[in-house]
């Protein structure tokens, strides 16, 4: 399935975290290599509904989330989901993948034609914050 704009392939591959491009009807138009590694099988051409039937999602606290509230759906309605939504996605191997998803609409001639979502690895970010960037993380007490 060709991308709406060939330059988007380069943009997708420049994102190091999993990125998914959804067309206005909810069909997945493209994913980057990081997303391909998570989904195992090709999801390009499938609808988000088909994907969610195979890979359930929940809020990070375990509560259900309505499909219309997912970041991609909000972006397809024109909303920029910059703060992200904490979600748990069940991967094909059954592992729960905790992520923060940000999404943005892609607008052409004043009309939303697609949405780009990035799945940020929340646990990796938390581990990084707990690393050497925090006082005392190097084993040296910052307070004498």
Count of C-beta atoms within a 10 Å radius of residue 105: 21
At a CB cut-off of 8 Å and minimum separation 6, what does 109 contact? none
Instruction: Give the CA count within 13 Å in the CB-facing half-sphere of 48.
Output: 22
Residue 19 in domain: yes
What pLDDT, on the 0 to 100 scale, is given for residue 3?
A: 55
Contact 86, 71 (CB under 8 A): no
Whole-angstrom Cα distance, residue 34 to residue 12?
10
Look at the block and give the residue holding tokens 């195992």.
40
What pLDDT, on the 0 to 100 scale, is given for residue 121?
A: 82
What CATH code is carried by the domain that includes residue 63? 3.30.450.20
Q: Confirm whether pTM is higher than 0.85.
A: no
Instruction: Give the pLDDT means over successive 10-residue stretches in the chain (144 positions).
Output: 67 92 92 87 88 89 92 96 90 88 94 94 74 51 39
Residue 117 in domain: yes
Residue 136 in domain: no
What pLDDT, on the 0 to 100 scale, is given for residue 143?
A: 40
User: In total, how many domains does the chain have?
Assistant: 1
- Identify the domain containing residue 31 by its residue range: 7-130
What pLDDT, on the 0 to 100 scale, is given for residue 10?
A: 86
């Amino acid at each position: 399935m060709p991308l709406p704009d060939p330059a988007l392939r380069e943009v997708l591959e420049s994102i190091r975290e999993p990125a998914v491009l959804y067309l206005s009807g909810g069909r997945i138009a493209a994913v980057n290599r990081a997303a391909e590694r998570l989904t195992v099988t090709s999801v390009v051409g499938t609808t988000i509904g088909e994907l969610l039937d195979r890979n359930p999602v929940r809020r990070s606290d375990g509560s259900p989330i309505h499909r219309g509230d997912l970041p991609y759906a909000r972006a397809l309605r024109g909303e920029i989901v910059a703060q992200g939504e904490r979600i748990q996605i069940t991967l094909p191997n059954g592992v729960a993948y905790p992520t923060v998803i940000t999404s943005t609409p892609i607008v052409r001639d004043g009309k939303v034609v697609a949405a780009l979502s990035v799945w940020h690895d929340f646990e990796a970010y938390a581990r990084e914050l707990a690393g050497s960037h925090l006082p005392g993380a190097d084993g040296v007490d910052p307070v004498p």
